């Protein structure tokens, strides 16, 4: 076992778990994905020494496992499904944002938008790191983040049910997820 790798993973674990949850939208599935990723990371023959490269490597490992699971549950799934859709721009009509409403609306985003926003906002990755992790140009990260936030904004504006749901905590509240199943 690599002691240094273990210590680095300990530093990342809450953000990594947050990213797993953002992808899975379910605490139990997120725990499985997170544990699987940890075990693979700890048993990998080698890992990047550089701190930034290690974070990218670890989150990418978890993301690849998530994609494997999607493929296992849906043989027709491919990365081509993760395409960007145009969204209207973010307006300036409301400058105060309800944080819990945002988190519930986040659950209704498409996979591709949850993915990129979770990397930037939850994982704390820069655009350059996110581009490396997703293997896309920085300009694509820039436009994808913009579209993701515009979609989030649209959900908050167009779907008042999002903000009137009882806020019982993120875990275990699958109503919005069930309602939106099929969108992502």
Partner 1 sequence: MTLRGPIPDSVINAYVDGALGPETAATLASRASSEPALAARIARLHGLKAGVAGIVDALPPAPPLPAPALRRRRPVWPLASAAGRCLR
Give residues in contact with partner 1 (CB under 8 A). 1, 3, 6, 9-10, 13-18, 21-22, 27, 31, 34-35, 38-39, 42, 89-103, 106, 117-118, 120-122, 126-127, 142-143, 145-146, 149-150, 152-153, 169-171
Contact 112, 84 (CB under 8 A): yes
Given the complex with partner 1, which of 15 and 132 has the nearer CB atom? 15
Which residue, among 175, 152, 2, 11, has the nearest Cα to 89 in the 3D structure?
Answer: 152
Given the complex with partner 1, which of 79 and 138 has the nearer CB atom? 138
Given the complex with partner 1, which of 20 and 82 has the nearer CB atom? 20
Which residues lie below 8 Å from residue 41, measured CB to CB, with a gap of 6+? Answer: 5, 9, 47, 58, 61
Given the complex with partner 1, which of 47 and 90 has the nearer CB atom? 90
Which residues lie below 8 Å from residue 157, measured CB to CB, with a gap of 6+? Answer: 91, 93, 94
**What is the smallest separation between the CB atom of 78 and partner 1, expressed in angstroms?**
26
Chain centre distance of CA 6: 23
**What is the smallest separation between the CB atom of 57 and partner 1, expressed in angstroms?**
16
Given the complex with partner 1, which of 3 and 73 has the nearer CB atom? 3
Which residue, among 7, 31, 5, has the nearest Cα to 18 in the 3D structure?
Answer: 31
Contact 83, 112 (CB under 8 A): yes
**What is the smallest separation between the CB atom of 124 and partner 1, expressed in angstroms?**
8
**What is the smallest separation between the CB atom of 179 and partner 1, expressed in angstroms?**
19
**What is the smallest separation between the CB atom of 70 and partner 1, expressed in angstroms?**
20
């Amino acid at each position: 076992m690599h002691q240094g790798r273990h210590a680095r993973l300990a530093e990342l674990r809450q953000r990594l778990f947050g990213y797993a949850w953002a992808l899975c939208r379910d605490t139990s599935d997120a725990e499985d994905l997170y544990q699987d990723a940890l075990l693979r990371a700890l048993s990998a023959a080698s890992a990047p020494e550089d701190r930034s490269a290690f974070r990218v490597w670890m989150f990418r490992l978890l993301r690849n496992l998530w994609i494997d699971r999607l493929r296992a549950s849906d043989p027709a799934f491919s990365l081509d499904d993760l395409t960007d859709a145009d969204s209207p721009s973010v307006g300036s009509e409301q400058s105060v944002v309800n944080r819990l409403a945002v988190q519930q609306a986040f659950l209704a985003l498409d996979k591709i938008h949850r993915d990129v926003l979770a990397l930037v906002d939850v994982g704390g990755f820069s655009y350059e790191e996110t581009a490396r992790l997703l293997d896309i140009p920085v300009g694509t990260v820039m436009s994808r983040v913009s579209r993701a936030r515009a979609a989030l904004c649209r959900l908050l504006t167009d779907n008042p049910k999002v903000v009137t749901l009882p806020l019982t905590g993120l875990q275990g509240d699958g109503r919005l997820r069930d309602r939106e199943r099929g969108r992502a």
